[in-house]
Amino acid sequence: MFIVFEGIDGSGKTTLSRKLQNFLLLRGIKAIWTKEPYTAYIREIVINNKLSAWEETLLFITDRSIHVRELIGPKLEKGFTVICDRFYLSTFAYQGFGKGIPLEDIKKIHRTVIDEVKPDITFLLDIEPYKALERIKSRGNFSKFEKLNFLQKVREGFLELAKEETNTFILNGEKNIYQLLGEVLEILSKKIEIFHLKEK
């Protein structure tokens, strides 16, 4: 099963997705946790350079292609549950809605480069950008993507995308982590039941 967590910077995806992995591991489920950007070298280029929106788009898609080929695809084939912190909705929301690259163009490249692996379920952690920025400030390091008006566009993008994307659930990122984990587990348990019914 392939589970994706999405949301703006500071929305709490990393903490929640890690908690889910620990929960599954304690129950004997083979689960790995991974994130995007995946490759350290592409992350370094994108984060530390002034690039055009198209250059960023192509680099993030390249990074994802490597991620799927090297890690996600093989692990899914071996029967692991893969939990991924960010996937294609991040590129649609940040480079599409945030930076104005036409969505159709991004989607077309995606279909060509990475078509075979799709999330079974996506959780979108939604939070007011100013609250997310307060959390980031308390961590003490800002990246070039973490500006209020930009994150507002990205947040709206995520919400818009979530409406069209199948099996996508919006969670209120302002709730406490255990409440959120409870909601994730409840949704997953229903989803797993459906999987089992389909298999029968």
Residues that contact ligand TYD, how many (by CB under 6 A): 12
Residues 56-75 that bind ligand TYD (CB under 6 A): 60
Judged by CB under 6 A, does residue 86 bind ligand TYD? yes
The DSSP letter of residue 52 is -
Judged by CB under 6 A, does residue 6 bind ligand TYD? no
Q: How many angstroms separate the CA atoms of 5 and 122, rounded?
A: 6
Name the β-bridge partners of 85. 5, 35
**What is the three-state SS of 73-125?**
HHHHHCCCEEEEECCHHHHHHHHHHHCCCCHHHHHHHHHHHCCCCCCCEEEEE
Judged by CB under 6 A, does residue 90 bind ligand TYD? yes
Beta carbon of residue 39, minimum distance to ligand TYD (angstroms, whole number): 11
Q: For the chain, how many residues are written?
A: 200
**Which of 18, 19, 43, 110 is close enough to bind ligand TYD by CB under 6 A?**
43
Beta carbon of residue 94, minimum distance to ligand TYD (angstroms, whole number): 3
Closer residue to ligand TYD, CB minimum distance, 23 or 145: 145
**Which of 143, 148, 172, 194 is close enough to bind ligand TYD by CB under 6 A?**
143
**Which of 2, 5, 33, 94 is close enough to bind ligand TYD by CB under 6 A?**
94
Q: How many angstroms separate the CA atoms of 122 and 119, rounded?
A: 6
